[in-house]
Structure 1
Amino acid sequence: MDNQRNLILAVVLSAVLLFGWDFAMRTFYPDPADDVPANMASRDDIPAERALEREGDNLAAGRISVGGDAVDQSVVRDVETELASEGRVTIDAPEVAGTINPVGARVDDILLKTHRQTVEPDSGPIRLFAPAGTDIEQYAQFGWVGDGIATPTAQTRWQVVDGDRLTHETPVTLAWDNGQGQQFLLRFAVDEHYMFTVTQMVRNTGSGAVALRPYAFVARTSETASRSTWNVHSGPLAALDGAIDFEWNYDDVEEQGVVDNPGETEWVGFTDIYWMSALIPDDAVGATSAFRSLGNSDYRADLYYEPVTVPAGGSVTRTTRLFAGAKESGLLSAYQDAGITQFGNAIDWGWFGFIAWPMWQVLIFLFGLVGNFGVAIICLTVIIRAILFPIAQKQFASMAQMRAVQPKMKALQERYKDDKPKLQQEMAKLYKDEKVNPLAGCLPIFLQIPIFFALYKTLLLAIEMRHQPFFGWIRDLSAPDPAHILNLFGLLDFTPPGFLGIGVLAVLLGCTMFLQFRLNPAATDPMQQQIFMIMPWVLMFVMAPFAAGLLIYWITSNLLTLAQQRYLYAKNPQLRAQMAKDREEKARKAEREKAARAEGR
C-alpha cells in the first residue's frame, strides 16, 4: 500500500512539475520562438511620426526636443512607399545596405546583408532600421538645438554636397544653410561592418556668436522588440562611468517618462537579443544621455553634448558613432579593444558569464576545426566530460562506500526508528567512522548545472549560432527540434503545444537518461526508486521546447556517462556485484508482491 501511495505521489508531483513549468514559462517568460523577429512584423495600431514640440529652455534643461510639424497620427505609413521618396542617399557597405533620408538627414533604412529573416535561404535580409511613422520604425538622427537661431528640424531637407553613395571607402556629406549666417554639415562614413561615423559641424559666418547644443538620438518602437526575460535583457541599454546598465526596460521608461542617465555616457541605445543600435559620443568631449518615452510604444535614446558658443567666423565639430547591426561577439570585442568601453559586454552573458564566455570561445575554435556547430557541441561535451572524469571516479568510489555501509544503516534505522534525532546522530557517526561522504555523489551534478546553463545562454544569445544547421532535419541549433512526433513529423497540419512538442531529440534524451539511471545502484528508498523511474520521461517533456543544440549536448553527455559508468563498474567489481544483487532482490520482491495480490483476489 505504501509503495502504491508513493507511486501515485510521484506521478502527481511529476505532473505538477510538467504542467506547472509549461504554464509558468508561457505566462511569465514566453517562448522566444513565438516572438516576431526584431523589426520584421507589422503593428495595426501604431500612429505615424510623433509631433515633437520644441521647448524654449531645452538647452538649460539639458533635455532635447526635436521640432516637427503635426501630422495625422491615425495613418501608419508604408515602408516601401517611404523608401521610394526622391533624393535618398544609397548605403552600400560590405555588411549593411540602405539609404539616408535627406529630409531630416535621418539614417532610417538599414538592411543587414549577412543575416536572414528565417532559416530559409531566400527569406531576405534582416531589416534593422525603418522610417519614422511606419509600423516597424527605428532610425537615428543627428542635429543641434539653438538659442535664438534657426536649427535643422525633422522636416529640413538637406543637400548632398560631397559624394553620392555611402560605402566603406567613400563618405557622404550633407549640408543645410539657415539663411542667418550659419551652415550645418553632416559627414557620414561607415566601416566594413556596422559602425557609422557621423561628423557634425557648424560654421558661423554671421556677425555675432551663437549658442548651440549638438545632439543625436536613436528612436524606435518597442512593438517589434524581442521580449526581455529574467535571463535575457532586451530594451534600453547604456554604458555609464565604465559599467553596463541593464536596469531599465521599456515599461520602466514609459512609467518614468524621461530617465536621465547618471554620470558620463560611454554609449547608449537599444538592444534586442541579436541586434543593437547604439550611439557612441566623441571621446574628446564626453556626453550625457537619457531614455525617453514618446507614448504609444515609441521610445528614444538621447545623446547630448554640453552647450557650446560658436564665435563669429568660427566653427564647432562633434563626432558621434552609430552602431547599427548584429551583436557578433568577436566584432563587439574588437570595437571594445579599439576603445569603446564595455562594448563587448553588450551581450548579457549573466551570472555564469565567467563560464559562458570561455565556453563560447572554445565552441568558436572547435567550429573552425570541424565546420559544424553541432559537431562542435559534441566535441565540447567530450572535453567537459574528460575534465570531470576524475570527479566521476570519486563519485563512484563514494557510491561503493555507501553501498558497503548499507547493512549497518538499515540496522540503525530499525534500532532508532522511533527516535529520529538519535538516528541522525548515529548515522553521522557511522559516516565519520567509515569515512563516507554522502554528498560526494552530488558533486558532478552541481558542477554540471552552471555548465548546462552557460551553454543554454550561449545558444540563446550568440547570433553566430542563429540558423546554424546540424544534420538532417536539424536546420537551426538555436531553435527547438522541429520534428514533432505527435504530428507525424509534419505530415499532420497542426503544431502541438510546447509541452507536447516531443521531438526525436527529446525522446533520445529520455531514453539515454533512463538507461543512465538503470546503471546507477538502486536507491534504498522505494519512493526514490519510483521517482528515478519517472524522472527521465518528465525531463523529456520539460526539455522538448529547448534549443536543439542544448539537447544534443545533454544526449551526448548521457551517452558518455553510460560509457563511463560501464568502465568504472569494470574497475569496481564490488559495486557491480552489489548492483546485480540489488536488482535480483528487487525482482524477487516484485514477484512476491504480485503473488500476494493474486492470492488476495
Structure 2
Amino acid sequence: MDDKRNIILAVVLSIAILFGWPYVSSLFFPTANPPARPAASAPATNTPTAGAPTAGAPAADGPQATRDRTLVLRESPRVLIDTPKLKGSINLKGARIDDVVLPTHKETLAKDSEPVRLFSPSGTKDAYFASFSWSGEGLKLPDANSQWTADRQTLTPAAPVTLRWDNGAGQRFVIRLSVDQDYMLTVAQTLENVGRNQIVARPYGLLSRIGPSRDPSTWTIHTGPMGVFNGAANYDIDFTDLDEEGDKRFSTTGGWLGFTDLYWHASLIPAQNLPVEAQFRAGANKRYQADVTYAPNVLAPGKSVTVTSRLFVGAKETPVLERYTDQEGIALFDRAIDWGWFRWFEKPIFYLLDWLFRQIGNFGVAIICLTFIVRGLMFPIAQRQFASMAAMRALQPKMKAVQERYKDDKVKQQQEIMELYRSEKVNPLAGCLPIFLQIPIFFALYKVLMLAVDMRHQPFFLWIKDLSAPDPLHILNLFGLLPFTPPSFLGIGILAVILGITMWLQFKLNPAPMDDMQKQIFAIMPWMMMFVMAPFAAGLLIYWCTSNILTIAQQWWLYRQHPVLSQPAAAK
C-alpha cells in the first residue's frame, strides 16, 4: 500500500510540476525576450511624490500629453551625440540628455530593425531622460524651459561640448559634457557668481522615466531601481515598492544609482569622494525618478564651484562594466548585472564562453565546446559514480535479505543496512555527486544566457537565430505551418524533444531500479523535463542535450569497465 501511495503521489506531483511550471518559471526564470510593454497611457513626464524634501532634486516636469517622438525632437535646438556605441542628441531647452539609441544593438532580429532606444524626450511614449542642474533659494535657476547655448553642434569622444546659461541676475551656469568610446558621459557642472551677493546652491542630477521596466524583476534576476550605497549593492527596491511605500532615500559617499533592465542600464554616478543624498521617487501614473544631490555650496561674489558627475547610459557589457569598476574607480559598477550569490562561479563561465566564442565564431558551437570541457573535467568523477553504482548493485541481494529479515523492525533494518554499507565500504550517495556538480554549472550557464547582452541575438544553425531565446519551432503547430501559437507550457520545440529522448535513452542505459516507485518516476521524468525545459533559452537546451549525449557515450564505455551494471537484475 505504501508503494502504491508513493506512486500516486509521484504522479500527482509530476502533473502539478508539468502544468504549474509556466507560472512558477514566469516568477523565477523569465524568458529571454519578454513581450514589449504596451504604450503608456499616462503622461510621459515625471513629478515627485508629495512631500519631497526641498533640498532634494526637483521634479523633471509637469504632466503633458504623449506625442510623436519625431515631432518632439524637431521642436527644440539640439546637440548631436555621435560615438561608436551611442547616437542621439541633447536638448538645449532644459539641457537634457533625452535622445539616446544604441546602434550596435537592435530591437529584433529583423534586418530592418531599429536600434535599441534607451532615452526618449519628455512628452513621448516611454519618456526617459537625464538632467543636471542646481537647486537653491533666493536666486534664479535654470529649469525645463531654459534655453542653453552650445559651443559646438556635435558631441564626440574627441570633442566635448560646453553648455551655458546666464540668469541675468549675476549667476552663470555651465555644463561641460564629454563622452568616451563606450557608454559613459562625464558632466562637469560649474556655477559662477559674478553678482554682488553671496549665494547658496546645490548641484543635482536626475533620471526620469515613465513606466516600469519591460523586463520583470524576479527572485533570480533584479530589474528596476538599484544602486550602490556606501560600498554595498542594493537590489531590494522594485517599482512596486516605490508605488506602495513611497520614496527611498540614502546618504552615501561613493557609489551610484539608477534604473536597470535585463540588458540595458542608466545610472547617475556622483563624484566618488563627495557625500551626496540619493533617492528614488514615484509619482502618479507610473512616473519614476532617481536623483542625487550634493551638499550646498556657499559662493561669495566673484567665486565659482565645479562638481563633476558621470552618467552611464547603455548596454550592460560585462568587460565594459568591469573596466569602469577596476580602472575608473566606480564602486561595484559591475554589480549592475545581477549575477547573484554565485558570481564567483558564473563570471568564469561567462569568460570561458566568451573566449570560446571569439575563437570559434559561433556561440552555439562554443556552448557545445563548453559541454565537452565540463564533461571532460567530470570524467574521473563519473568513473567513481559508476563504480559506486556497480558496488551498490552487487550489494542489493544482501540488502534485500536484510529487509526481509527485519521487515517488522524498520529501525533495526536501517541500522543493519548502514552497517552493511560500512562493512562493504560503499557510499550510497556517491552516485549523486556528478548530478550535484552539474547543478551550479547549469545554473551559471542559465544566468549567463539570461544576463549577458554579449550573448543576445547570437545565432546557431538552421532555425536557431537567437540562443538566448526559446526554440521558435513548436511541434504542436507543425513548426509554424498551422496558424496558431501553442500556450507556453505546450510550446514543445525540437530541442526539447531531443532533450526528452536523450534523457530517456540515458535512463534506459542505467540499471533498472529494484523499487517500483523509482521505476515509475524514472519512466515519467524525461517527458516531464521535456515540458519543463521547453520555455528555456535554446542555448541552455543545447548544453543539456549535448551533455546527455556525452553521458550516453560515457555510460557505454564505462559499462565495459563495470559489466555488472549492464546485467539485468533477475540475473543476479
Q: Per the shorter chain, which TM-score range?
A: over 0.9
Instruction: Say which of 204, 208, 213 aligns to 2:193.
Output: 204
- Once the 2 structures are TM-superposed, how far is the Cα of residue 29 of structure 1 from its aligned partner? 6.3
Counterpart CA distance in 2 for 1:382 and 1:124 is 37
- Once the 2 structures are TM-superposed, how far is the Cα of residue 288 of structure 1 from its aligned partner? 2.8
Residue 233 to residue 404, structure 1, CA distance change in 2 (3 Å)? same
Q: How many equivalent pairs are there?
A: 571
Corresponding residue number in structure 2 for 1:46: 42
- Once the 2 structures are TM-superposed, how far is the Cα of residue 111 of structure 1 from its aligned partner? 0.4
Asked if 1:544 corresponds to 2:540, the answer is: no
Corresponding residue number in structure 1 for 2:221: 232
Measured against aligned partners, the alpha-carbon deviations of 1:194-224 in whole angstroms (never above 9, x if no partner) come to 1111111111111122101000011112344
Please give the residue correspondences for 1:63-74 in structure 2 after superposition, counting only pairs within 5 Å.
Answer: 63-66=56-59, 70-71=62-63, 73=64
- Structure 1 counterpart of 2:416, one-letter code: E
Instruction: Say which of 164, 167, 176 aligns to 1:178.
Output: 167
Query: Contact 1:94 / 1:168 at 8 angstroms: preserved in 2?
Result: no
Instruction: Say which of 92, 100, 103 aligns to 2:90.
Output: 100
Instruction: Say which of 446, 461, 477 aligns to 1:471.
Output: 461
Measured against aligned partners, the alpha-carbon deviations of 1:506-560 in whole angstroms (never above 9, x if no partner) come to 0100011111111111111011012101110110011000000000000010011
- Structure 1 counterpart of 2:57, one-letter code: I
Counterpart CA distance in 1 for 2:4 and 2:422 is 35
Instruction: Say which of 285, 295, 303 aligns to 1:296.
Output: 285
Residue 584 to residue 123, structure 1, CA distance change in 2 (3 Å)? farther
Query: Contact 1:225 / 1:272 at 8 angstroms: preserved in 2?
Result: yes
Corresponding residue number in structure 1 for 2:495: 505
Instruction: Say which of 539, 549, 552 aligns to 1:559.
Output: 549
SS at match of 2:252: coil
Asked if 1:308 corresponds to 2:297, the answer is: yes
Query: Contact 1:54 / 1:65 at 8 angstroms: preserved in 2?
Result: no
SS at match of 2:33: helix
- Structure 1 counterpart of 2:130, one-letter code: A
- Once the 2 structures are TM-superposed, how far is the Cα of residue 284 of structure 1 from its aligned partner? 4.5
- Once the 2 structures are TM-superposed, how far is the Cα of residue 321 of structure 1 from its aligned partner? 0.6
Residue 583 to residue 151, structure 1, CA distance change in 2 (3 Å)? farther
Measured against aligned partners, the alpha-carbon deviations of 1:260-305 in whole angstroms (never above 9, x if no partner) come to 1143241111100100001111234342311111221111111111
Please give the residue correspondences for 1:298-447 in structure 2 after superposition, counting only pairs within 5 Å.
Answer: 298-338=287-327, 339-447=329-437
SS at match of 2:125: coil
Corresponding residue number in structure 2 for 1:270: 259
Query: Contact 1:265 / 1:289 at 8 angstroms: preserved in 2?
Result: no
Runs (5+) with no aligned partner, structure 1: 586-601
Corresponding residue number in structure 2 for 1:14: 14
Residue 224 to residue 27, structure 1, CA distance change in 2 (3 Å)? closer
Corresponding residue number in structure 1 for 2:35: 35
Q: 501-510 or 280-289: which moved more?
A: 280-289
- Structure 1 counterpart of 2:76, one-letter code: E
Query: Contact 2:79 / 2:152 at 8 angstroms: preserved in 1?
Result: no
Corresponding residue number in structure 2 for 1:130: 120
Corresponding residue number in structure 2 for 1:589: none
Counterpart CA distance in 2 for 1:94 and 1:348 is 26
SS at match of 1:145: strand
Counterpart CA distance in 2 for 1:469 and 1:57 is 50
Instruction: Say which of 565, 570, 584 aligns to 2:560.
Output: 570
Corresponding residue number in structure 2 for 1:187: 176
Query: Contact 1:136 / 1:221 at 8 angstroms: preserved in 2?
Result: yes
Counterpart CA distance in 2 for 1:389 and 1:174 is 63
SS at match of 1:405: helix
SS at match of 2:173: strand
Measured against aligned partners, the alpha-carbon deviations of 1:482-529 in whole angstroms (never above 9, x if no partner) come to 011111111111111111111110010001111111111111101101
Query: Contact 1:89 / 1:166 at 8 angstroms: preserved in 2?
Result: yes
Corresponding residue number in structure 2 for 1:582: 569
Query: Contact 1:128 / 1:325 at 8 angstroms: preserved in 2?
Result: yes
SS at match of 2:225: strand
Residue 241 to residue 409, structure 1, CA distance change in 2 (3 Å)? same
Counterpart CA distance in 2 for 1:245 and 1:286 is 18
Measured against aligned partners, the alpha-carbon deviations of 1:313-363 in whole angstroms (never above 9, x if no partner) come to 111111111000000001101111121111112111112212111100100
- Structure 1 length-normalised TM: 0.91
Q: Percent identity?
A: 53
TM-align CA RMSD: 2.1
SS at match of 1:361: helix
SS at match of 2:552: helix
Residue 434 to residue 64, structure 1, CA distance change in 2 (3 Å)? same
Corresponding residue number in structure 1 for 2:73: 83
Q: 347-356 or 453-462: which moved more?
A: 347-356
Query: Contact 2:421 / 2:427 at 8 angstroms: preserved in 1?
Result: yes
Counterpart CA distance in 1 for 2:28 and 2:319 is 32
Query: Contact 2:98 / 2:129 at 8 angstroms: preserved in 1?
Result: yes
Asked if 1:449 corresponds to 2:439, the answer is: yes
Counterpart CA distance in 1 for 2:46 and 2:564 is 77
- Structure 2 counterpart of 1:64, one-letter code: A
- Once the 2 structures are TM-superposed, how far is the Cα of residue 575 of structure 1 from its aligned partner? 2.6
Query: Contact 2:79 / 2:89 at 8 angstroms: preserved in 1?
Result: yes
